[in-house]
Amino acid sequence: MQSLPLPLALTARLLPVAVLAAAGWSLSSGPLAAAPATDQKTAQGTPNTQGTQSTGGASTTATAPAAKTYSAAPAPCGAVATKTIESLVPGAKTAGKEIPSTDKSVRRTCSWNALKGYDYRWLDVSFEITGSNAQAQKSYTERTTEKSGGGAVPGLGDSGYSVVNLTTEDKQQTREGVVLVRVSNALVSITYNGSDFETKKAPSTDEINKGAIKAAKDAVAALENGQTKG
């Protein structure tokens, strides 16, 4: 089926996303939420823990193993499984397009987008490597606070958060999900959105939220399987 050109309103809406991504970090175009009534839920972090144990009358302190410190961002266009891309962005070139970065060891982003029939989907995956776990936690807290109204994603990295928002422009709905994950000193950001130009409706909150989390799980696995130091 022949793809239709994107409406001017959507093109204008997406332009800021492309500009931000070109700067090397596209924690992108807007928030998401897992509660269908408001398209929003709340976030939580995962604290570090340490415990004390006693052996033969002597007290010793057992500390959790040191977290891995990541030295470089993985290649973002290879961070999401082909089958995930085919499912989330039908019709997109699975190779993706990496956005230029001033320092690839610190920030890398890849984008996929496609219009199949009347259905449009956009997916961004970004990695940012900070100088320490504390610095990454500070950035994670600031960003999740800015995108308030989302919710924690259990079992995703050291801390995982998702938020979904619905926007309407010229009667065309677009629903967008953002997932932010901290893994040691690294931050992983996913942006996933969609529109239906025939019905003017957006995909469901559940579809967008689950899709963004699926891509985030792939990206975190790619990071954890990549090169580390420390």
CB-based contact 187:128 (threshold 8 Å):
yes
d(CA 124, CA 79): 11
Question: Number of C-alpha atoms within 13 angstroms, CB side, residue 197?
Answer: 17
Structure tokens at 152: 């924690």
**Residue-wise pLDDT tens for the chain (230 aa)?**
444 444 444 444 444 434 334 434 333 444 333 333 335 443 333 334 344 343 444 444 445 545 568 999 999 999 999 999 999 999 999 999 999 988 888 999 999 999 999 999 999 999 999 999 999 999 999 999 998 889 999 999 999 999 999 999 999 999 999 999 999 999 999 999 999 999 999 999 999 999 999 999 999 999 998 743 33
CATH number given to 8-44+68-224:
3.40.1000
Say which residues have a Cβ less than 8 Å from residue 120's Cβ, sequence separation at least 6. Answer: 6, 10, 113, 114, 194, 195, 196, 197
Cα first-last separation, the chain: 51
Q: Domain residues of the chain, as ranges?
A: 8-44+68-224
Residue 141's CB: how many other CB atoms inside 10 A? 15
- pTM surpassing 0.85? no
CB-count exposure of residue 76 (10 Å: 0-12, 13-18, 19+): buried
Residue type at 145 in one-letter notation = T
No. of helices (H) and no. of strands (E), the chain = 4, 9
Structure tokens at 217: 């799980």
